[in-house]
């Protein structure tokens, strides 16, 4: 049994690994174990419990022989080992010294083993950094692009990524947005996505469904931008702006000097300034 996380990388790699080896794929398991198959003459089964329908249903699954299993975050449990571990000692020999004159460009004699040296420390790219490491997260939901077609919606979420980077943060999204293809699955926040714990979380058009809120951790500050003043996200926010989320995002982009994609700037709603007077008060 090959076990992998049900993360964006795991969802990409596990099916390919299973197909390459001709093995079964058991996706989104909350538990998996190897058991003896009494009916097949001493074979081994992979018995798993998989999560379906947004974690509302769990289904038992048995498959024959080798299998690739992806485990959902926080769904695994540790079972004490029943046998002693097998330890194999491998000798690590130093590479042989090369002939004279084959030293590296460092000027060291041939065969010299050099310790690694720090050349530079690169700061993470805010456009692509892991959401779990971000201290500021700006997230978008379906309310950020109401009634928009997929092309315009994707352009607005691309603008959200660049506005987030301009503010020193990283962009996230709800499952609705990632399933629609407006933004990558690695940006999905929630129980079926990434769990975050930023200092600042700004939700643009996010209603605050339980599956999404379950991945928020405990942000120090929450800002909700939504036309629905009674939405769960606005109710739990430190600051609630009752205004058009897309209009406010476009205004932020203008003030930060972030260029707007053509698809996001066409047929734009009115500027956010007039709509947020009540929120400012």
Asked if residue 268 and residue 178 are part of one domain, the reply reads: yes
What is the CATH classification number for the domain harbouring 189? Answer: 3.40.50.1220
Residue 89 lies in a domain: no
| Domain finish residue from 32, 55, 71 | 71
Q: State yes or no: pLDDT of 71 exceeds 70.
A: yes
Asked if residue 248 and residue 175 are part of one domain, the reply reads: yes
Q: State yes or no: pLDDT of 139 exceeds 60.
A: yes
Asked if residue 67 and residue 147 are part of one domain, the reply reads: no
- Count how many domains the chain has: 2
Render the chain in DSSP notation, one character per residue: -EEEESSHHHHHHHHHHHHHHT-EEEEEEEEEEEEEEGGGTSEEEEEEEEEETTTTEEEEEEEES-EEEEEPTT-------SS---------PPPPPPPTT---TT-PPTTPPPPP-----PPP-TTTS-GGG-SEEEEE-GGGSTT--HHHHHHHHHHHHHHHHHTT-EEEE-HHHHHTTSS-GGGBBSTTSB----SEEEEES----HHHHTT----SEEEEE-S-TTSHHHHH-SEEE-S-HHHHHHHHHHHHTPPPPHHHHTTPPPPSTGGGHHHH-
Structural domain boundaries, residue 62:
2-71
Asked if residue 276 and residue 138 are part of one domain, the reply reads: yes
Work out the percent of the chain whose per-residue pLDDT is above 70: 78
Q: What is the pLDDT of residue 122?
A: 78
Q: Which two tokens stand for residue 110?
A: 């041939």
Residue found by looking up tokens 């329908």 in the block: 53
Residue 173 lies in a domain: yes
Asked if residue 272 and residue 135 are part of one domain, the reply reads: yes
Q: What is the pTM of this model?
A: 0.54
Instruction: Please write the tens of the pLDDT for every residue from 84-123.
Output: 878 888 887 766 555 544 444 455 555 555 667 888 887 7
């Amino acid at each position: 049994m090959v076990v992998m996380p049900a993360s964006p990388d795991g969802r990409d790699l596990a099916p390919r690994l299973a197909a390459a080896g001709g093995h079964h794929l058991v996706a989104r398991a909350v538990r998996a174990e190897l058991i003896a198959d009494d009916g097949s003459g001493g074979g081994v089964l992979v018995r798993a419990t998989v999560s379906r329908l947004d974690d509302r249903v769990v289904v038992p699954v048995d498959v024959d022989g080798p299998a690739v299993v992806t485990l959902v975050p926080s769904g695994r449990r540790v079972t004490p080992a029943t046998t002693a571990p097998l330890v194999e000692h491998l000798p690590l020999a130093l590479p042989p010294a090369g002939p004279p004159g084959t030293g590296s460009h460092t000027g060291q004699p041939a065969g010299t083993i050099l310790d690694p040296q720090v050349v530079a420390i690169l700061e993470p790219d805010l456009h692509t950094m892991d959401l779990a490491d971000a201290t500021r997260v700006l997230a978008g939901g379906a309310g950020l692009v109401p009634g928009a077609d997929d092309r315009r919606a994707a352009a607005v979420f691309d603008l959200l990524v660049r506005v987030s980077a301009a503010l020193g943060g990283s962009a996230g999204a709800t499952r609705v947005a990632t399933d629609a293809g407006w933004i990558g699955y690695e940006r999905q926040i929630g129980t079926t996505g990434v769990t975050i714990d930023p200092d600042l979380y700004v939700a643009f058009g996010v209603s605050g469904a339980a599956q999404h809120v379950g991945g928020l951790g405990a942000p120090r500050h929450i800002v909700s931008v939504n036309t629905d003043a009674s939405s769960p996200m606005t109710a739990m926010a430190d600051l609630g702006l009752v205004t058009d989320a897309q209009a406010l995002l476009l205004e932020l982009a203008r003030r930060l000097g972030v260029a707007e994609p053509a698809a996001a700037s066409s047929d734009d709603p009115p500027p956010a300034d007039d709509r947020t007077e009540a929120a400012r008060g």
